[in-house]
Amino acid sequence: MNNKFIPIISVFMTISLVVFTALQFYWLKGYYGALEQDFSNKVYSALESSTTKINALEVNKYMNVDFKNFANTIEAGKNQPSLTTISQVEDSASRRSITYSRNILEKKDFPISKNGDSLKIATVYSDKNLIRIKKDPNKQEPLTSDLSHSLENGDYTIRDFVRVAATNLPLNKRVTSKVLDSVVTKELKLRGINTPLGFAIYDKNDKCTNIVNALFKKDDKDIYKYPLFLDADYKTLYTLDVMFPRKDYSLARNNLPMLLGTFMSLLTILGIYIISINYMMRQKKIAEVKTDFINNMSHEFKTPLATISVATDSLANDKIAFNPDKVKYYSALIKQENLRMKKQVENVLNMSKLERNEMQLFLKETNVRELIQKMADSFKLIVDKRGGEITLDLSAPKHQFKIDEFHISNALVNLLDNANKYSPKPPEINIKTKNEGNWYVIEIKDHGMGMETHNKLKIFEKFFREETGNIHNVKGQGLGLSYVKKIIELHKGQVLVESAKDKGSTFTIKLPMA
């Protein structure tokens, strides 16, 4: 992919993701609003049914518990409701309004002594109502006995008298918290609402009564109100207020599959977006790193090829061809440069094998102290040419264990080579060994240019190099530290680094001895 298209594709992907996410949240908001509306409809339906049942329970209690003889008195025919027409008004050309009242007289004997004396008590229950009768303009029809009888028997019942009588009763005589909670909870469950509820009864002055449960919060934003008891004129005496402390949780729980599916799809798309952007950025970075690697490899091969070319041309010269010393010198030079190129190729091939997990270690019992001493002695010649020095502190008492001598040697050479290359001044390299439990610890410290803190973890990545402004200021392919890390990890060990800019670096290798 052309690198210039990556930012453009990233912008369009970001815009698409933002639009999609916004639409998803808009849909969720609308869906949640529909759920709330459905919840409210179910609540009001439950409250309507609950108030009807509570009123019916009150009537049954009034007629069968509080005043057991009330219904019997009425049904016996002794005190039937009486109808009194108060007024008749011709309110229009086609209608006639009749105002009427009904009364029930209930008589009781109230005992006042043990001698059988009693006091006659009469209770009058009354109510008035209004009826409008449509007239036939072509026929003047008076209020007949049939119409009067219909009014008397069809519009008013004993239960209406109970409602009128109960209007003046205290609230705790009409309903209790236990009954209210039981009825409302049952009606809500019938409609699929199983969440805890708080309730309270308010009077006509909007003051809370003593019927309220512990879950009710009067400042809650979602309180459902419904008339509970009406007076004789059908005006609200008490209002039932209901709220649900865990309403949002209940809505989410009842619609969990839908909401979970939506969120999972959104998270999946977001994850794909992040992975895609990260993958493109990594591909761009890898492309740049590979370009740097090719440039470095070209630079590394250019010098030995040029040297070999010059040596070959020299050998073709007749004066040199008959000079055994010159021939020997140029032959050795060609061989040296050829080995140098071979080593570069082997580094790349070894890294390729490590990436494919094809590298096999050949472990054998080794005196690691002697191995480090040998590597330091061979590298000392390179350091001496720059006027530097290598100091050794190989004080670890346990130094005999199994390693792959060839690869550990290469790893140590890579670290020593970096310590030398990244020291602008004459290099000062310190090698120290010690035992930490079952670990054999090797520390290689230099006093070179060091590195930035954010690069400490990146240096073990393949092809990464600290200096990116001029890739030829320090020679190499960026494979050395990656190779070191892979080899140490194959030995089940660890490699750590501590570094500060312009203060040098310390690489610590930990190898298990068992």
28 burial (CB, 10 Å; 0-12 / 13-18 / 19+) is middle
Band (pLDDT 50/70/90 cuts) for residue 123 is low
Band (pLDDT 50/70/90 cuts) for residue 140 is very low
pLDDT at 432: 94
Gap between the Cα atoms of 312 and 338, Å rounded: 12
Instruction: Report whether 192 contacts 254 (CB < 8 A).
Output: yes
pLDDT of 493 strictly over 70 = yes
Band (pLDDT 50/70/90 cuts) for residue 269 is confident
Out of 78-87, 142-151, 283-292, 403-412, the most confident range is 403-412
Among 309-323, 350-364, 378-392, which is the least confidently predicted range? Answer: 350-364
Q: What percent of the chain has pLDDT over 70?
A: 69
pLDDT at 147: 46
pLDDT at 337: 76
pLDDT at 160: 60
| Entry pTM | 0.44
Band (pLDDT 50/70/90 cuts) for residue 71 is low
pLDDT of 76 strictly over 50 = no
Q: What does pLDDT average to over the chain?
A: 76
pLDDT of 441 strictly over 60 = yes
pLDDT at 510: 95
Out of 19-33, 279-293, 362-376, the most confident range is 362-376
Name the more confident of 294 and 334: 334
Among 61-65, 148-152, 357-361, 470-474, which is the least confidently predicted range? Answer: 470-474
Among 65-74, 215-224, 368-377, which is the least confidently predicted range? Answer: 65-74
Helix or strand holding residue 50 (H, E):
helix 5-61
pLDDT at 205: 87
19 burial (CB, 10 Å; 0-12 / 13-18 / 19+) is exposed
Gap between the Cα atoms of 79 and 104, Å rounded: 6
Band (pLDDT 50/70/90 cuts) for residue 473 is very low
Gap between the Cα atoms of 495 and 486, Å rounded: 10
Instruction: Report whether 62 contacts 166 (CB < 8 A).
Output: yes
- The distance of Cα 402 from the centroid of its chain, to the nearest Å, equals 49
pLDDT at 121: 56
pLDDT of 320 strictly over 90 = no
pLDDT (tens digit per residue) in 234-261: 788 889 999 998 888 887 777 778 778 8
